[in-house]
Structure 1
Amino acid sequence: MSSSLNPKTTHYEFLGPPGAFAISVGVPFITYALYFGCSEASGGCPPALSLDALYQRALLALSDPAWWKGLWDTEATIAYFGWYAFCVVAWAILPGDTVEGTTLRTGGKIKYKINAFSTFLLALGATTGIVVRNGPEAFTFIYNKWVGLLTASLLMSVVQAVYVYAASFRPGKLLALGGNSGNFIYDWYIGRELNPSIGSFDIKSFNELRPGLILWVLINISMVCEQAVRRGGFAQVTDSMWLVVAFQTWYVADGLYNEPALFTTMDITSDGFGFMLSVGDLLFVPFVYSLQARYLAFHPIVLGPLRVAGVLFVNFLGYYIFRTANAEKNDFRNGQNPKNLKFITTARGSKLLISGWWGSSRHPNYLGDLIMGLAWCLPTGFDTPITYFYVVYFAVLLIHRQRRDDEACQKKYGKDWETYTKLVPNRIIPYIY
């Protein structure tokens, strides 16, 4: 493909190759650390050790070949790859509409098969059947095989990143504008090819919604089963556990049901698919986002009616902001404006909202996301800050995305963007940021 369609990348993100290398190592390290630093097997959350004793214990473990060997579990690896195969087969055989993505630089559009929600329902149905037939003990496998499953998902992430990087050098590939620097480490991490695929199987969109996102819910169900076994049945599962599982299941179901909305996101339209997205989708999402449920499995907390009501309010407030803000934007993009929202028209002909939720901040949907993230952490109480890792990490992630989006819009709209930012000065949180 011509150099005009695949220009050389001249601007680095994430501090360039050193940052890409650090994140590539750091993400798996953090995922393992959150388990070994917050688990029953390691003595609690955090382990009941002084910092010096914890440091010495970590050094001892890292220097012990048996510890490294313990990260691998053949049975767990087979189970994980079987799960991934299940998702691929479900994509292939379940019926679904076909939706076109945004127009590519080539002028063409990718056609996507929409059946992520059907795959989710099939997985839930199979899981429910296993639990009803055999009892909660039958689905504690994930809790007991945690480290092995984590390692298997990391292996899958690395394999996919290597494959798509190598495949991106085949003739005719459309590369991501940010992933064609020529530096192996950076391009492998950020993603060299924009839309890697095998036939009609689009690798990036598949990984974004199916294996990791649905597994997150299945992990949470396993944590419910683990707590039920320990406490004497599902009737004894704590209100805090049910809240976490209900909130996160609803969030996943909502995303899968609204699958077409994915195809206008930055991940799909502009980012390549490399280790950044593969490890994020397959490892980080299911094994880090489920931290609250895993913690409650071995550290049950009973909230009581008042605290349950407070957590519900926080979550529904976040969901209301998230959903109504997105509804305003989607209506406006589709040529509808039922609320008579104000907007400015740029020199390019694009229209930018300056009232409603999108007048209160440039990314009100991010605000809703953050409030929901806080609600997911609140049921774990305040005995440890580790269970609040998600909302802190998510805030950093969303701020980074906001800055990337603002930078792209500045280049796209020029002086019109400067006018817009004066009319809508708040980035995410009104009057604060």
Structure 2
Amino acid sequence: MDSKNASKRILNPKTTHREFFGVPGSAAVMLGTPAVVGIWYFSCNEKVGCQLPTTRSQWSDIAADIINYNAYLSSEAITYYALWWSWLVMLCFVIPCSYAEGTLLRNGERLRYPINGLSSLLVTTVTALLAYANYGTAPYIWIADHFFQLAVASLLFSTAQALFVYLYSFRRSSQDLPAGSDKKPVLLALAGNSGNPIYDFFIGRELNPRVSGLDLKVFNELRPGIMGWILLNVSFAIKQHHQFGALSNSMWLAIIPQIWYCIDTLLFETKVLTTMDVTTDGFGWMLSFGDLTWVPCMYSLQARYLSFHPVHHPPVVAAFIAVFALVSFLVFRLSNSEKNAFRANPSDPAVGHLKYITTESGSKLLVSGWWGMARHINYTGDWMYGLAQCLATGFETPMTYFFSAYFLVLLLHRNYRDECKCRDKYKKDWDRYCELVPYMFIPHVI
């Protein structure tokens, strides 16, 4: 085997382990998750209320509503969604920004990323306020009333985008390049080069697809869905006020933590560059749909429910939910900040007192402070924060707790991937670390 083909194998090895149970699991997710969005809409709306369907007759009613619904496609919704996505792309390029480098890739490169997500949100907010000043609440009531058409538009857009990046990933392979070419082969995700088009389309074939300087994965991770989540929440709050003449304390308790979570994500935009989504996963249907459809449409469920069914909590209950949300966020943010500060400079006075072990690879693993309590203490805070938002909706229906249940499954799966990755990377040092920090989520519990 010549050296050219050997280096090709090293750069983009064939995927041997398929996640999500391979092709059948991938197909099930691609069919099942859009179905969940639809079921949660047709069983939780102004017309039918919000009750989890458990009987055959309830499922029959939902099936009839789905079959008889004649407004899935809306040219207005598709146009407005395309304009929304394009608006954020434009801001990404025109707003002055600093740049941050991503992690070192296995081809020896570090990609540069524009850091202007928070500025884009500020410009978008000012634009939204100007729209309110000129047109009043009408645009936001339209968004709330056409939520499902916008969800369908985002599904079409995310699927088209996934198909584009899948085909785009074949543009330049090692065997295509002439000898002496200064171009480099496309860097594929280690999990996305199975050769099966269904699985690779789902999981993401290329690691960092870029078009004219736009990193599609990081852009989608931070801009259209995160900011769309905020826009939907605000629109549902405006709709509640329009219908009932006031905002319930439950609406405030639901949307303020969610909006702050989105702002916090953009405040720490550079830290997203070190997450598994960016460093490890390819950009395929899973992330495209998750970013554009799943996050804004399913995570805004609490506000959508409260827009037509206000819940008024007694002051003591409201105070408890607010404090629970605050404490949960502090666990999430302080633990992540401690980790980020230690990674940046272990000698920083803020973290210099912390204990750690040094692995054979040279990495340092914290065994005190937040990370001495549990190996994934940030996940605990993250999940509790989501639970607080669900508590804001009360206890009349379990459907509004889907966010908390799904997020638990997501974090457990991510925890499994983290543990496998760390065990493979640190080997016996990981066993030593687990002995020093035996709990994964809650100190002295689990």
Which amino acid in 1 is paired with 2:273?
A: F
TM-score by length of 1: 0.95
Q: Which moved more, 1:373-382 or 1:126-135?
A: 126-135
> 1:51 is matched by which residue type in structure 2?
T
Match of 2:122 in 1: 121
Select which of 379, 385, 391 maps to 1:372: 385
Q: CA deviation at 1:185?
A: 1.1
Whole-Å Cα distance in 1 between the matches of residues 230 and 298 of structure 2?
12
The answer to whether residue 371 in structure 2 is matched with residue 358 in structure 1 is yes
In structure 1, distance between residues paired with 2:139 and 2:90: 24
1:425 to 428, 433, 438: 438
**Matching residue within 11, 19, 29 for 2:17:** 11
Greater mean deviation of Cα atoms: 149-158 or 421-430: 421-430
The alignment yields a C-alpha RMSD, in angstroms, of 1.4
2:39–2:62 Cα contact (<8 Å) kept: no
Bigger drift between 296-305 and 280-289 goes to: 296-305
> Is the 1:74–1:148 contact (alpha carbons within 8 Å) kept by the matching residues of 2?
no
- Select the residue among 261, 272, 282 that pairs with 1:272: 282
The reply to whether residue 180 of structure 1 matches residue 193 of structure 2 is yes
Q: Secondary structure at the match of 1:311?
A: helix
Distance 1:214 1:33, change over 3 A: same
1:26–1:432 Cα change, 3 Å: farther
Amino acid paired to 2:27: F
Conserved 8 A contact 2:42-2:65 = no
CA shift for structure 1 position 29: 0.7
- 1:46 to 2:51 alignment: yes
Counterpart among 33, 44, 65 of residue 39 in structure 2 = 33
Mapped pair 1:199 → 2:199: no
The answer as to whether partners of 2:26 and 2:199 remain within 8 angstroms in 1 is yes
Cα-to-partner distance string for 1:288-330 (whole Å, 9 max, x where unaligned): 0000000000001111321221011101111111111011111
- Equivalent residues of 2:43, 2:62 under 8 A apart: no
Could you list the per-position Cα deviations for residues 217-244 of structure 1 after superposition, in whole angstroms to 9, with x for gaps in the alignment? 0001100110111122xxx211111121
Among 386, 401, 411, the alignment partner of 1:388 is: 401
The offset of 1:148, in angstroms, is: 0.9
Task: Quote the Cα distance in structure 2 between the aligned partners of 1:313 and 1:32.
Answer: 33
Letter in 2 for 1:17: V
Distance 1:56 1:38 in 2: 15
Structure 2 spans left out of the alignment, 5+ residues: 1-6, 173-184
The code of the aligned residue for 1:99 comes to: A
Work out whether 1:253 is the aligned partner of 2:263. yes
Correspondent of 1:400 among 413, 419, 425: 413
Deviation for aligned residue 1:133: 3.7
Query: SS of the residue aligned with 2:273?
Result: helix
The 5 Å alignment of 1:218-257 reads: 218-232=231-245, 236-257=246-267
Check conservation: 1:137, 1:225, Cα contact below 8 A: no
Q: Percent identical across equivalent pairs?
A: 45
1:45-91 CA-partner distances (Å, limit 9, x unpaired):
017x87222122234345x4x53x42111111111111111111111
CA contact (8 A) 1:181 1:187 kept: yes
1:150 matched to 2:151? The reply is yes
* Paired residue type of 1:40: E
Q: Which whole-Å deviations, capped at 9, do the CAs of 1:146-202 have from their partners, x for residues lacking one?
A: 111011000011011101111111211100011111111111111110000102110
Aligned residues: 425
Say whether the 8 Å CA contact 1:72–1:147 is kept in structure 2. Answer: no
Aligned to 2:140: 139
Alignment of 1:92-107 (within 5 A): 92-107=93-108
Structure 1 unaligned spans of 5+: none
Paired residue secondary structure (2:365): strand
